[in-house]
Amino acid sequence: MKIVFATANQGKLREAAGILGEGYELVTPAMLGITEDIPETGTTLEENSAQKAEYLYSRCHTDCFADDTGLEVNALGGAPGVYSARYAGGDGHDSQANMDKLLRELQGKEDRTARFHTIVTLYHGTEILQFEGEVRGRIGTEKKGDGGFGYDPVFIPDMVPAEDGTIVPNTEGLTMAEVPAAKNVISHRAMALKAMAAYLHSKE
């Protein structure tokens, strides 16, 4: 079955393909000649994810899905949230500036708990559904590790995968950038995509 994923990110594409498994052919908007930026002007992850999927559906009229992710920090009232990519201003590609701003905003704050939160919106036949995934953790006091991307060097997940594949408490306080392997197992996006995959497989 063909399904269009609103992304130009090859890493995300591979991750989704691995989770959906055989039987699903993932197509990008670019492969269908849809090359314009897909609008994301919502003020919540739910709105943005829905807006992207709706736009894509209006262009391709076939089953499709879109994701939107944010880092939600409790002491900052859920910020940067839907504005995570552009937290420090600019065009959204300056992860260092975003992390620097986050560390500054949290200076002196005791509660450093946070989560990565993903909402996936799926257009499937006549149905429109949303799926959610999260990974809980806290923000460290400095950047550590060089794996991953975005806020990974300052995000310390509560749980990490052990060598035997079990999920165990992160007693060493490793950041997501220090355990990139964790991404495939515990990531917020993987959780949301797995929930979507379970739904799709139940409809086969």
**Does residue 84 belong to the site contacting ligand IMP (CB under 6 A)?**
yes
Pick 90 or 169: Cβ nearer ligand IMP: 90
Identified binder of ligand IMP from the candidate list 81, 140, 150, 161, rule CB under 6 A: 150
What the block records as the tokens of 160 is 């990490």
Residue 78's SS3 state is: coil
- Specify whether 63 is catalytic: no
In the complex, minimum distance from the CB of residue 118 to ligand IMP, in angstroms, rounded to a whole number: 7
Closer of 101 and 124 to ligand IMP (Cβ) = 101
CA distances from 153 to 41, 93, 192 (A): 27, 15, 22
Distance CA(31)–CA(8), nearest Å, equals: 10
Q: How far apart are CA 26 and CA 19, in angstroms?
A: 11
Tell me the number of residues near ligand IMP by CB under 6 A.
15
CA terminus-to-terminus distance, the chain: 10
Which position's Cβ is nearest ligand IMP? 150
Question: Which residues inside 2-21 make contact with ligand IMP, applying CB under 6 A?
Answer: none
Burial zone of 157 (CB within 10 Å; 0-12 exposed, 13-18 middle, 19+ buried): buried
Check binding of 178 to ligand IMP (CB under 6 A): no
Stretch that binds ligand IMP, among 17-25, 148-156, 164-172, 190-198 (CB under 6 A): 148-156
**Cβ pair 103, 65 in contact under 8 A:** no
Smallest separation (angstroms) from ligand IMP to the CB of 90: 11
Active site residues: 68
Q: Which residues bind ligand IMP (CB under 6 A)?
A: 68-71, 84-85, 92, 116, 148-152, 176, 187
